[in-house]
Amino acid sequence: MNAQARLGAFVLIALIVLTILSSRIGRFQWLEQQGTMIETVLQDAAGIAVQSPVLMAGVKVGVVHAIDLENHQALVHMLILPAIKLPASTKAHIAGGGLVGEKYITLSATVGDKQLLTNKRIPSERQASLETLLNDASSVTDELHSITSKANHITDVIGDILDENKENIRNASQGLGDTGKELSDLLKKHRKDLDQLLKNLPDAAKSGEDFFTESNLAMKDFRELIIDNRENLYRMLFELRKTSENLEAFSDDIRRNPWKLMSEKPEIKASRRAKQDKMEEMLLTTGQGVGSAH
């Protein structure tokens, strides 16, 4: 082989190696991949690109097929190998590894889950990373600084209020002291009366208890009296009602025919409830209705 042929072969081999390396670095695929397409929504997909590996338990099960934007979040489409059957509890999150911090998507599922995944979209979970921890720590530090600033401002305001009202506070404290002294003198002055009142409290309590006991007995006797004279009360109410109805009928007749008072005795027309009143009257007097009287 001459020098030109060797040079041409070397260049051809170099081009093939460069092409393979470029496809590896750029994750370029020559042939269209086959498998199951699933998707997940991530709050931040920084470091994830097309053809980024998708791992499960450290084993590559697919690649990132595409990344879109949905509701200000990253919608990641993943192509899973045809032989892989994902459980229904599968979740996705971003992980990182390697010396250069290469990021990839890792899938996890509940141990023992035998139900297969049927949904196209799987949930995502946020994994704690050094960057996330640093951001959270910075956020907490900022919040603590803000709270400290507000607390210092409140302390300064309270100090200013105390300085402005120092005289009023001193006068109020002095007034409270005088009030306490007056209250103490008043208690000392009426100590004998208070002692006598405390001494008479048991007797007063006993008298109140006796009063309520006698009241209960009186109410019991009154209730029994009402029960024993229930029929008489019903009879009296019946008579009062009849009298009221007769007076109403008489008054109505006089109002319509006032000249009857000078010529003849006013006629009181029977009420529509005459039959019912008759039955009630017989029931109250004999304990039997009109139908049982025959």
Question: CA–CA separation, 165 vs 172, rounded Å?
Answer: 10
> What residue segments make up the domains of the chain, in order of their start?
1-31, 34-127, 230-293
Q: pTM score > 0.85 for this model?
A: no
**pLDDT in 10s for each residue of the chain, 294 residues:** 667 777 777 778 888 887 776 655 555 444 456 788 999 999 888 889 999 999 999 899 999 999 999 999 999 999 999 999 999 999 999 887 655 568 899 999 999 888 999 888 999 887 555 556 666 677 778 888 888 888 888 888 888 888 888 888 888 877 887 788 888 888 888 888 888 888 888 888 888 888 888 888 888 888 888 887 877 878 888 888 888 888 887 787 777 776 665 555 555 555 556 666 666 666 666 554 444 444
Name the amino acid, one letter, at 126: R
